Amino acid sequence: MISIKRLYGVGMAGMVAWLGAGIGQGAEVNLSLADYIARVLRHNENIQMRILEAAISRKQYEAAKGAFEPVFISEGSAEDRRRALTEEQKRNLFFASVFNERNKAYESAVELLTPIGTKVRLGYNLRKMNNNLNNATFPDGEFMSTVGISVTQPLMKDAFDAGPMANIRAAAINSDITFQEYRKALMEVVAKAEAAYWDVYLGQQQHAFTLESVNLAQTIFQDNKARVGVGKSSELDVLQAEAGLAERQALEIEARQKLYEAVNRAMIFYSGSVLAQADRLRAVDEPKVVEPASDPLHYRTRADRLNPDWLALRQQLSLEDVRIAFAKNQTLPQLDLKGSYGASGIDGSWAGSFNAIEQQTFPTWMIGLELRLPLMGNIKARRELEAARLRRKGTELAMQTFGIQLDNNIDAAQKTAAAYYNNVKSYAKIVEFNQDLLKTQLARLEVGKIDSRTVLETERDLFEAKLGLVQSQMRCVRAMLDLEQAVGMILDSRQLEITRAELSQRTSVLLRDGRITPQAYNAFLEATRKAYERRKETTPPASP
């Protein structure tokens, strides 16, 4: 009888084998840093969400401009009314005691708002009147047509461009702020993706170093075993070589696992999943260690025009100015200039009443002023103005604080990058020295002047020096990434910078027939990839 433990063991072994066969079996693909970033730009969901937010902001700006769209109005009504008459009215109506009327009214008009706040209404009104006064003259009812235009122009509150244009200006600035948020998100993704790519490179180098170390230890171990057979070495030398080999094999397994984890993290940025049999990344580029500029003002000047947070705060300050201007306008009294002109015609038919209008027999016009004045000093508007001024003051303080932080961050990042750059040069000398020393020690081992333990210790020193060199290179690269991110030059130095117009042009293909289709979305992603490749080929790299 098969035991439960055995069944459980077989089941677990099968599960492990199934998972091992299904995970991480994608083909290995060699990617340069540029190709890797192109994949990230095409597939990273965070970037895509930010692009959609930028498109939403642009649509909101376009929607705000729709306030000036003309509006067509049409309405119709019917009324049936009976009322008692006074004695005087009875005599005028030949002693009728009740006034009966049935009327129908139709009206159509076009209304629009102009950028200077003028409200214009052009309309036509038709009334069909049936009552016991006009039955004798108009058995089918009496028709009255009226055509007229009315204009209302604010003179103080909501006057000229302070009212309607304020919302459009605010929407435009909000669109600019959203664009800077998109740039910031893109910078963060590119910086993190590059750091992940270099983590893969570091893992590859560390794994390669451990393999070299294992191979050397394996050779020494085999040589010592052979020497024991001919009496040229002791068992202690063999045991020491075997221990050194085991130690290096353990380091190789650990390095291999770290490499696997680094690859998985890097694949996340372009939505690659090991469960989906995605190709596994292999970094083929080597880091270019660049010495940063010695003058921090070089980077601070670039930050003034490139840092997305700084630019967004400047836009926010402009937005607060718009809000203050609008709030000031709202504290003014409501004084409107009103005017209208029209003409009417009456006849027994609709056509006749309309023709009577053309004769200009009964024109009417009106012009006047209307004043609305809060009796308690316009409390709401004054408090909103005070709040707007406080918000602007808060934005000014935020700009001052961020400016100081920006100065300090750039200075610290520049000094850190410079220090790591010097470390790289120092480690390069250490590696060169240990390589020469190892060659000498191996030659001495061949002639029996030293034991294998000394050689393994020298090899360990070389391993640590090479690992220290690569780690210093990675620290220098990360420090430069931090510096570029603090300045806001990550996109500019990689030819990824785009304007609002270019982003608007790309996102315009997303909407087809008022909705986003999968085909349009894929076309947008493909256009983004091609634009990056063209920019990469035609634009020279920017200086650090």
Q: Please report, for residues 39, 142, 503, 527, the alpha-carbon distance to residue 42 in angstroms, rounded to integers and kept in the order given.
A: 5, 71, 14, 9
Over residues 189-245, the pLDDT tens digits come to 999 999 999 999 999 998 988 898 888 888 877 877 777 766 666 677 778 778 888
Q: Name the helix (H) or strand (E) containing 109.
A: strand 98-113
Q: Please report, for residues 114, 160, 383, the alpha-carbon distance to residue 117 in angstroms, rounded to integers and kept in the order given.
A: 5, 5, 24
C-alpha of 363 from chain center: 59
Mean pLDDT calculated for residue range 467-486: 90
Task: Give the type of residue at 19.
Answer: L
pTM for this predicted structure:
0.76
Tell me, what's the pLDDT at 536? 58
Q: Which residues contact 509 (CB under 8 A, 6 or more apart)?
A: 520, 523, 524, 527
Same domain, 490 and 534: yes
Residue 229 half-sphere exposure toward CB, CA atoms < 13 A: 6
What is the Cα–Cα distance from 541 to 494, expressed in whole angstroms? 7
pLDDT of 276 higher than 90: no
**Residue found under tokens 């009324």:** 79
Same domain, 362 and 417: no
Cα Rg, the chain, nearest whole Å: 41
- Report if residue 244 sits inside a domain: no
Lowest mean pLDDT segment, chosen from 316-320, 446-450, 466-470: 446-450
**How many structural domains compose the chain?**
2
Task: Give the type of residue at 220.
Answer: I
Same domain, 518 and 428: yes
Same domain, 362 and 433: no
Mean pLDDT calculated for residue range 516-523: 65
pLDDT of 163 higher than 90: no
Over residues 51-66, the pLDDT tens digits come to 778 888 888 888 888 8
Enumerate the β-bridge partners of residue 84.
98
- Report if residue 408 sits inside a domain: yes
What is the Cα–Cα distance from 260 to 25, expressed in whole angstroms? 12
Cβ atoms of 319 and 110 within 8 Å: the answer is no
- Report if residue 286 sits inside a domain: yes
> What are the phi and psi torsion angles at 89 (to 5°)?
-65, -35
What is the Cα–Cα distance from 222 to 233, expressed in whole angstroms? 12
What is the Cα–Cα distance from 457 to 467, expressed in whole angstroms? 15
Tell me, what's the pLDDT at 20? 40
- Report if residue 57 sits inside a domain: yes
Cβ atoms of 217 and 245 within 8 Å: the answer is yes
Same domain, 479 and 501: yes
What is the Cα–Cα distance from 141 to 146, expressed in whole angstroms? 16
**Looking at the chain, how many residues does it have?**
544
Over residues 423-453, the pLDDT tens digits come to 888 888 888 887 888 888 888 877 677 777 7
What is the Cα–Cα distance from 272 to 286, expressed in whole angstroms? 23
Q: Give residue 400's pLDDT band: very low, low, confident or very high (50, 70, 90).
A: very high
Mean pLDDT calculated for residue range 462-473: 86
Q: Give me 301's structure tokens.
A: 């000047």
End-to-end CA distance of the chain: 73
Tell me, what's the pLDDT at 524? 65
Q: Give me 119's structure tokens.
A: 């409200």
Tell me, what's the pLDDT at 518? 65
Same domain, 341 and 482: no
- Report if residue 248 sits inside a domain: no
Tell me, what's the pLDDT at 396? 96
Same domain, 57 and 79: no
**DSSP letters spanning 167-236:** HHHHHHHHHHHHHHHHHHHHHHHHHHHHHHHHHHHHHHHHHHHHHHHHHHHHHHHHHHHHHHHTTSS-HH
Residue numbers of the domain that contains 172: 28-62+167-203+278-318+392-538
Tell me, what's the pLDDT at 85? 73
- Report if residue 23 sits inside a domain: no
Tell me, what's the pLDDT at 229? 67
Tell me, what's the pLDDT at 18? 32
Tell me, what's the pLDDT at 433? 86
Lowest mean pLDDT segment, chosen from 117-131, 147-161, 290-304, 380-394: 290-304
Alpha helices in 488-517 (DSSP H): 490-493, 500-507
- Report if residue 198 sits inside a domain: yes
What is the Cα–Cα distance from 44 to 186, expressed in whole angstroms? 10
Tell me, what's the pLDDT at 534? 65
Same domain, 344 and 290: no
Same domain, 283 and 191: yes
Provide the 3-class DSSP secondary structure of residue 237.
helix
Q: Give me 188's structure tokens.
A: 């963060």
pLDDT of 278 higher than 70: no
Which of 138-142, 274-278, 321-325 is most confident?
321-325
What is the Cα–Cα distance from 453 to 465, expressed in whole angstroms? 18
Provide the 3-class DSSP secondary structure of residue 427.
helix
Q: Could you say which DSSP state residue 359 is in?
A: T
pLDDT of 22 higher than 60: no
- Report if residue 153 sits inside a domain: yes
CATH of the domain at 293: 1.20.1600.10
Which of 6-15, 275-284, 347-356, 448-457 is most confident?
347-356
Q: Give residue 533's pLDDT band: very low, low, confident or very high (50, 70, 90).
A: low
Instruction: Tell me the torsion sign for CA atoms 517, 519, 520, 524.
Output: positive
Tell me, what's the pLDDT at 537? 62
Alpha helices in 331-451 (DSSP H): 350-358, 379-446
Tell me, what's the pLDDT at 80? 86
Cβ atoms of 162 and 326 within 8 Å: the answer is yes
What is the Cα–Cα distance from 290 to 132, expressed in whole angstroms? 99
Same domain, 96 and 35: no
Q: Which of 308, 309, 63, 312 is nearest to 177 (CA)?
A: 312
Enumerate the β-bridge partners of residue 150.
121, 340
pLDDT of 14 higher than 50: no
Enumerate the β-bridge partners of residue 364.
342
Same domain, 399 and 467: yes
Same domain, 41 and 86: no
Over residues 173-185, the pLDDT tens digits come to 998 998 999 899 8
What is the Cα–Cα distance from 531 to 42, expressed in whole angstroms? 11
Long-range contacts of the stretch 496-502 (C-beta < 8 A, 24+) = 496/37, 496/41, 496/186, 496/190, 496/532, 496/535, 498/531, 500/175, 500/176, 500/179, 502/531
Average pLDDT value for the chain: 82
